[in-house]
Amino acid sequence: MKTMGIAAAVVAVAMGVFAWLLYRDVARMTSWPAAAGVVVSSELRHSLVDSSTRRRHLALMPSVRYEFEVNGRQIISNRISNKDYVQYVASLETPPGKELQAVLARYAIGAKVTVRYNPEHPASAILEIDPSGARWCAAIAALAAVVAFIGLLRS
């Protein structure tokens, strides 16, 4: 039981640190200045991506490019979100799911967008900031902490 408690404590600390790093990135991006932008290209692309099992899988991902102006300089960027929009597909003919269709609908060519950009490196920009990854990590860390506490208490 003690081993389980120690293992859970390690998971709790690791997930807690990871959640803190994600929250820090979200807070940093949220504080970036905003600029008006316009989508200049929007499409779905197939790509081979490595999975957690170290196998390559065919995936469908949105590719959106947008332009905006900072201090009189025109900038083009392509990061949509801190969340990955990826759909694993069986073949090139597999149609996109609802989530990817919604992304393309939001970011159709000519769409007006609000761009958050890093003031030190304006080409580092983003359209959406999603804190849900940090929330999930924090929830897992809390659950692991409870398991660790119970495991260590019983040993």
pLDDT tens digits, residue range 104-119?
999 999 999 999 999 9
Residue 72 near residue 140 (C-beta atoms within 8 A)? no
Q: Which of 38-52, 58-72, 100-114, 134-148 has the lowest mean pLDDT?
A: 134-148
Residue 79 near residue 116 (C-beta atoms within 8 A)? no
CA quadruple 134, 136, 140, 143: dihedral sign:
positive
- 96 DSSP assignment: P
151 pLDDT band (50/70/90 cuts)?
A: low
Task: Tell me the pairing of strands 112-118 and 73-77.
Answer: unpaired
| Boundaries of domain holding 97 | 2-154
What the block records as the tokens of 48 is 């081979």
- Coil, strand, or helix at residue 6? helix
> Which pLDDT score, from 0 to 100, does residue 67 have?
98
Phi and psi, residue 114, nearest 5°: -100, 125
> Which pLDDT score, from 0 to 100, does residue 74 have?
97
Q: Provide the number of structural domains found in the chain.
A: 1
pLDDT tens digits, residue range 36-56?
999 999 999 999 888 777 788
- 127 DSSP assignment: S
- Global pTM reads 0.72
